[in-house]
Amino acid sequence: MIKTPYLLFLGDAPDQLAAKVAQGIRDWRPEFAIGQYRMEGCRADMGLPDMTLSEARDAGAETLVIGVANRGGVISPEWRHVLAEALLLGFDLASGLHSLLRDEPELAAIASAERRLLHDVRVPPVRYPIANGVKRSGKRCLAVGTDCSVGKMYTALAMDAEMRTRGMKATFRATGQTGILITGDGVPLDAVIADFMAGSIEWLTPDNDPDHWDLIEGQGSLFHASYSGVTMALIHGGQPDALILCHEPTRAHMRGLPDYALPTLEELRDLSLTLARRVNPAAKVVGISLNTHHLSDADAAACVAETEARMGLPAVDPFRHGAARLVDALEGM
Amino acid sequence: MIKTPYLLFLGDAPDQLAAKVAQGIRDWRPEFAIGQYRMEGCRADMGLPDMTLSEARDAGAETLVIGVANRGGVISPEWRHVLAEALLLGFDLASGLHSLLRDEPELAAIASAERRLLHDVRVPPVRYPIANGVKRSGKRCLAVGTDCSVGKMYTALAMDAEMRTRGMKATFRATGQTGILITGDGVPLDAVIADFMAGSIEWLTPDNDPDHWDLIEGQGSLFHASYSGVTMALIHGGQPDALILCHEPTRAHMRGLPDYALPTLEELRDLSLTLARRVNPAAKVVGISLNTHHLSDADAAACVAETEARMGLPAVDPFRHGAARLVDALEGM
């Protein structure tokens, strides 16, 4: 568990997109972010107060979160003295980069001497159990996609926010680096050892109140040859009561696999249900989330209407329309 | 790649079953096993010459293979001095135990000083790629099961042996610890990091002659909540042309999951085909392997006949009947 609140480290981000982790925290957990730290040349801006490390500590910040990814996912030499100073001032550090904080000898030495924590969220922090398939109390919703990177995390976070607004019992369950940094907790599923994948998801979504919903962040796609095993483990470990189908209607082929066409929403519905019912016979597909980012307003509206009519399920783009109708579908179960 | 031939270390195995790794080598790669090493109290016997370490070295043995598993999968203190002496005499060591040879300080020190190799086959020795889904040349056959431990490895090894007898081009591709120790090579799939599972199977079964068959060892089951993600990665990474359905007809519930019934062979056929065709549209189910170990001869014959008639596919128990009809099915493709 990463201590909050955060100071968001934007480093020398060349543009806003490079700081997408910081943006995710700003969008979904604004109460965690009390300021931003920008170096010379930084071209990202979260609209938060610019703070020095000392100012942020004085304001109560506990963890400096690396909210920026540079090419290659490495810790750049320019950042090192800032990170070292942060540790000396009392910050923990958190990073989702490929290269690890703990592998930087200077940072590791300071953290050890000063008793600070280095959170490398790509590395599973726990030894997860093997899944046992036993039915758990409480309810679970999982977003599955026709492809990778079609908006599964965004959909679950938008539903989580809507459910909190309504006073429903809901917890977003992060399964990827960005999600973990946003919420401070979760399982980095793509880095888990094969035998423990489903068990890690059981661990992440334990018994809960009968009216509590876990909103499980999806990963990969059952139809993506590179990552389908990860998605399978999410379904069998997550025991979802409700499935949300996620789709990006303009994509020409599977992400990174130019020879592979996307499956249809019907194929995704049928396969996901077959698999989910193995662990939860009551599993249902309750709604569709469309990522219409590349469509005009008119085309997006037409796409949503056509999909809703064809599939007989509520369809929304949560970014344009909010997630209220998806949450209505959960409430109606 | 583990150097052959082997001396099989049976240690103080309390019975024959405890030495199942040694038995597998003896059954399937007898040319690799020039002798056995037994300690006082050993109650397993592979019917091989009993040799001292020196005798085995003189006879050409290159690797001492730990062919026995004791409770907990640890390296027992009684074994240590034998293993240390073997290293000093010039052996490499190979083990599939949970506790690792490399974590024994004395063994690690001797191996380093004497330039011997410690093969811990539970630890992936390579950094595998992410799967790219590109169609490869050559043919591949994968055994999939209604459950774990229903005879998938045995089936593939029996087919491999039959195909070599016929002069066909065939390679058994090990994906588990026992298979790796039997053949000296393979991928310990259950220990691979989630993101690289399918890629490790692409790596294991590369481009080959058009008439060459890879016989890929199956793992887990698509219907087993604990391990289904591993099986999924085998199907999407393996791009099988031919699937063999494996089943144990007397099993009352899924292995380790008392609340879960086994799926039918029809369910296994349909789900496996749906998934395999995503990466290989020509994939076919070509035969059925039944593990009739717990049935009488008459009941086994009836079970095989009933299954064959119902499914319209050749069905055999390769242990009782050999794998010839399954290989006929591959030849007929």
pLDDT exceeds cutoff 80 at B113: yes
Instruction: Give the per-residue pLDDT at A259.
Output: 94
Identity of the residue in A194, A225, A228 whose CB atom sits nearest the CB atom of B190: A194
Instruction: Give the per-residue pLDDT at B73.
Output: 81
Both tokens assigned to A70: 């540079």
Instruction: Give the per-residue pLDDT at A74.
Output: 86
pLDDT exceeds cutoff 80 at B71: no
- Cis before B5? omega within 30: yes
- Which chain B residue has the Cα nearest residue A231? B229
Query: pLDDT grade, residue B281 (50/70/90)?
Result: very high
Mutate to test the interface with B, among A144, A147, A226 (most CBs of B within 10 A): A226
- Which chain A residue has the Cα nearest residue B128? A226
Question: What is the rounded CA–CA span in Å between residue A246 and residue B206?
Answer: 33
Question: What is the rounded CA–CA span in Å between residue B268 and residue B147?
Answer: 10
Average pLDDT over residues A62-71: 91
Q: Does B230 touch chain A (CB under 8 A)?
A: yes
Average pLDDT over residues A47-64: 98
Average pLDDT over residues A194-198: 97
Q: Does A193 touch chain B (CB under 8 A)?
A: yes
Find tokens 């002496």 and name the residue: B85
Which value, to the nearest 10 degrees, does the dihedral of the CA atoms of residues A291, A294, A298, A299 take?
Answer: -80
Of B36, B28, B31, B23, whose CA–CA distance to B5 is shortest? B31
Identity of the residue in B131, B133, B229 whose CB atom sits nearest the CB atom of A233: B229
- Which chain B residue has the Cα nearest residue A229? B229
Q: Does B192 touch chain A (CB under 8 A)?
A: yes
Instruction: Give the per-residue pLDDT at A182.
Output: 95
Average pLDDT over residues B128-148: 97
Over chain B, what is the mean pLDDT?
96
Average pLDDT over residues A70-93: 92
Identity of the residue in B192, B225, B275 whose CB atom sits nearest the CB atom of A194: B192
The rounded percent of chain A whose pLDDT value lies above 90 is: 96
Lowest-confidence pick of A76-80, A327-331, B24-28, B33-37: A76-80
Instruction: Give the per-residue pLDDT at A22.
Output: 96
Residue type, B51: M
Q: Does A65 touch chain B (CB under 8 A)?
A: no
Q: Do A229 and B132 touch (CB under 8 A)?
A: no
Instruction: Give the per-residue pLDDT at B21.
Output: 94
Instruction: Give the per-residue pLDDT at B15.
Output: 93
Instruction: Give the per-residue pLDDT at A73.
Output: 81
Average pLDDT over residues A194-202: 97
Average pLDDT over residues B80-84: 96
Identity of the residue in B193, B229, B259 whose CB atom sits nearest the CB atom of A232: B229
3-state secondary structure of B100: coil
Q: Does A257 touch chain B (CB under 8 A)?
A: yes
In order of A325, B49, B313, the CA distances from A164 in angstroms are 15, 72, 54
Q: Do A225 and B232 touch (CB under 8 A)?
A: no
Identity of the residue in A229, A233, A259 whose CB atom sits nearest the CB atom of B198: A229
pLDDT exceeds cutoff 80 at A71: no
pLDDT exceeds cutoff 90 at A72: no
Interface pTM (ipTM) of the complex?
Answer: 0.93
- Cis before A5? omega within 30: yes
Alpha helical stretches, state H, A102-216? 105-114, 152-165, 177-183, 197-204
Q: Does A225 touch chain B (CB under 8 A)?
A: yes
Instruction: Give the per-residue pLDDT at B261.
Output: 97
Q: Chain B 66-125, CB below 8 Å of chain A: which residues?
A: none
pLDDT exceeds cutoff 90 at B301: yes
Average pLDDT over residues B201-214: 98
Instruction: Give the per-residue pLDDT at A247.
Output: 98
pLDDT exceeds cutoff 80 at A70: no
Contact assessment for residue B301 and residue B284, using Cβ atoms and an 8 Å cutoff: no
Question: What is the rounded CA–CA span in Å between residue A148 and residue A217?
Answer: 12
Q: Does B187 touch chain A (CB under 8 A)?
A: no
Q: Which pairs with CB-CB distance under 8 Å and at least 24 residues apart come from B75-78?
A: B75/B99, B75/B101, B75/B104, B76/B11, B76/B12, B78/B11, B78/B12, B78/B39
Average pLDDT over residues B65-73: 86
B254: CB partners within 8 A, 6+ apart: A133, B147, B148, B221, B223, B224, B225, B260, B261, B262
Chain B CB contacts of A231 under 8 Å are 229, 232
Beta partners for B186?
none
pLDDT exceeds cutoff 80 at A239: yes
Instruction: For CA atoms B281, B285, B286, B289, give the dihedral sign.
Output: positive
B126: enclosing H helix or E strand = none
Residue type, A146: T
Average pLDDT over residues A221-229: 98
> How many cross-chain Cβ pairs, A to B, lie less than 8 Å apart?
120
Give the pLDDT confidence of B208-250 residue by residue, as tens digits. Answer: 999 999 999 999 999 999 999 999 999 999 999 999 999 999 9
pLDDT exceeds cutoff 90 at A150: yes
Identity of the residue in B131, B192, B222 whose CB atom sits nearest the CB atom of A225: B131
Instruction: Give the per-residue pLDDT at B72.
Output: 77
Q: Do B190 and A191 touch (CB under 8 A)?
A: no
What DSSP letter does each residue of B13-32 carry, written as one string? -SSSGGGHHHHHHHHH-GGG
